[in-house]
Amino acid sequence: MEIPTSDNEWDWDDLFNLFNAVEYLHRLAIVHGDIRPENIQVHEDFLHVKLTDFDVSRLELPRATSRTVAKGYAALELLSSNEGASITQKTEIWALGVLLYICLCGFPPFSGDLKTEEFPYGMDEQIRQGRFNYPSPHWDSISGPALDLIDSMLVVNPEQRFAIGQCLSYPWVLTGRLLNQDDEAGGVLSGIAGIDL
């Protein structure tokens, strides 16, 4: 993945384009299967976001299974011991929610590194219970509507989780898209620059 070198290489259009790419795939009943920072590139000439690595993408079929999702981006239904778990459009919304969280603060919502005496949950338990928070000072400058969108994407029950159309029509996304605002963490996707790959 080509990592952006400055905050101004990412903007609201990048977020909107990434969500649009996923919406296009979902409209065709295709699931990418591995949405994570390593599979997002910035086209050098045009500074557009590209979703890459379609090795595990496929038509969304009830019996099509996959276990290739990186653990930090896997929704609860993929952590199940049930071998029949499959990647669906809703599991991809979870992965996009994790990615959005990272983009806004620079670190993931779920991590084994977060386990302490006060927070005795490993990564699997955090995901299974939907345990994440917005620690200060990293989230102090992020607006409530951005947090609400993440909360709607990282819902443990896939039936209650947003679909991509709801993400695209969410006021925080639309406002940023229409006004091309750059007030959320210096560019909505700038957090990718700090991720160790």
Confirm whether 13 is a catalytic residue.
no
Q: Closest Cα to residue 92, out of 42, 162, 146, 28?
A: 162
Domain coordinates of the chain in residue numbers? Answer: 7-194
pLDDT of residue 110: 93
**3 or 167, which is more confident?**
167
Domain 7-194: which CATH class? mainly alpha
**Residues of the chain above pLDDT 90, percent:** 25
pTM value > 0.85:
no
pLDDT of residue 151: 97
Q: Exactly one of 11, 13, 14, 34 is catalytic; which is it?
A: 34
pLDDT digits (tens, 9 = 90+) for 61-103: 554 455 555 667 676 666 665 555 677 899 899 999 998 998 8
**Residues of the chain above pLDDT 70, percent:** 64
